Structure 1
Amino acid sequence: MSTAAKLIRSKRQEFAAPNGKHDRNVRWLRFILPVAVGILGSMLALAPFTMRGELSFVLDKNSVDVAKERMRVTEALYRGEDSEGRPFSLKAGSAVQKSSSEAIVELNDLSARILLKDGPAQIRASAGRYDMDKENVRVPGAVQVESASGYRLSTNNVTVDLKQRRLRSDGVVEGRTNIGTFRADRLEADLAERTVSLNGNARLRIEQNGLRRP
């Protein structure tokens, strides 16, 4: 046997000898490991009682951004029924509800579709305010009404009642129908019966052959 082999063999015998280094390491580990496990278990058991589940902080309202809008929707569509149970729809390119406390929706690029006796009619406007509780639309600018039979009404600054299929002005109005142009302090229109009532300083200019136009 070579000298190197004898040296390796002697080291192994020394390591495996009773009361050697290996036995001393085992005795220490038999004491340390159970103690470490006990300490870790105690910490895990007490953790739910020592940790707080809530977070407190001070918020400065002057340095926080506040959302200006409650809800914003693109390509919004609202549906309902009129007083006689006939469906109507209101479509908008965009809709914004500023507060949940009031059922008012600001609409842009809107069009409404209602059903009349002689077929469907369409109402178009660039902007308006839709009251979801009353189911009416207030249009501060221009509005156009067109029915399938060819009846047309163009006016401004009105409120459209989708349930009653009526239209009334909120002030001085001017516009156009199939027979000519008009101006008045107030306007009321029954879209179902195709009648327009002008009140206060009413002026109506009838165009020749206007009734014969489709």
Structure 2
Amino acid sequence: MRTSDSALADRSRRQRGAAPGGSRDRLMRGLRIVLPMSIGVLAAFLVMAPLTASGDVSFVLDKNKVEVARERLRIRSARYRGQDARGRAFTLDAGSAVQRSSAEPVVELNALAARLELPEGPATLRANQGRYDMAADQVRIQGPVAFRAADGYRLDTSDAVADLAARRLTGTGAVTGRTPQGNFSADTMRADLESRVVRLEGNARLRIDRQGAK
């Protein structure tokens, strides 16, 4: 008899718990609120963990489902700044820049223009494309290159190396230019852009403008 009464009491408690508004109903309502919040907190933690972790974070990805980028970094309207040994600034602008690998500090530039501060005023160097070595501050230019100074000096050559920090330009292609003294041309040249010393090699020609020389 006691066993039967105990079973009836347990059954009655379970029935009251399962009834609408009972403890089980309250538990389910609570879980419907708590579980989505817990999932949101866990998702936020998984997203932010790689950014805040002090150690390395590794992922295992299926190579068949991941698109591999061909370039390490691609930028539009890039600008690079630097200084020479005397602390004078120069800037190098490009319409686009691509760095193939972080292990090699070389950036491929298109529509590039360098601005140099010289004693006579600012000068510009323009080219269609080149490769900028950020470690050496040198641009290896492919194709035509034009140098223009504020005081009238100009150089036009091709396939040249511009040392922005040293203010030097070395061309392997034919060169033409103009100074206040006249026009010149040669097969190749080496120019100190700051001192205005130009060394011409191969079929060097100089046409002196007497009025300008005075």
Normalised by the length of structure 1, the TM-score is 0.68
Following the alignment from structure 2 to structure 1, what is the Cα–Cα distance between the partners of residues 137 and 60?
44
Alignment partner of 2:138 out of 132, 136, 139: 136
- The alpha-carbon deviation at position 68 of structure 1 amounts to 1.2
The equivalent residue for 1:13 is none
The equivalent residue for 1:175 is 176
The equivalent residue for 1:209 is 209
The equivalent residue for 1:14 is none
Tell me the amino acid that sits aligned with residue 203 of structure 1: A
Cα 1:55–1:28 shift into 2, 3 Å: farther
Query: Contact conserved, 2:153 with 2:177, CA < 8 A, in 1?
Result: no
**Where does structure 1 differ by over 3 angstroms across 4 or more consecutive aligned residues?**
23-28, 30-37, 53-60
Give structure 1 stretches of 5+ with no counterpart. Answer: 1-22, 38-43, 45-52
1:59 maps to 2:63: yes
- The alpha-carbon deviation at position 98 of structure 1 amounts to 1.1
Give the 3-state SS of the residue equivalent to 1:123 in structure 2: strand
Following the alignment from structure 2 to structure 1, what is the Cα–Cα distance between the partners of residues 86 and 59?
55
- The alpha-carbon deviation at position 55 of structure 1 amounts to 8.4
Alignment map for 1:77-156 (pairs within 5 Å): 77-156=79-158
- The alpha-carbon deviation at position 59 of structure 1 amounts to 3.3
Aligned residues: 172
- The alpha-carbon deviation at position 58 of structure 1 amounts to 5.0
Query: Contact conserved, 1:156 with 1:175, CA < 8 A, in 2?
Result: no
Cα 1:172–1:35 shift into 2, 3 Å: closer
Following the alignment from structure 2 to structure 1, what is the Cα–Cα distance between the partners of residues 145 and 107?
18
Give structure 2 stretches of 5+ with no counterpart. Answer: 1-8, 28-34, 36-45, 47-57
Cα 1:64–1:163 shift into 2, 3 Å: same
Tell me the amino acid that sits aligned with residue 146 of structure 2: Q
Identity of aligned residues (%): 39
- The alpha-carbon deviation at position 83 of structure 1 amounts to 1.8
- Rg (Cα) greater in structure: 1
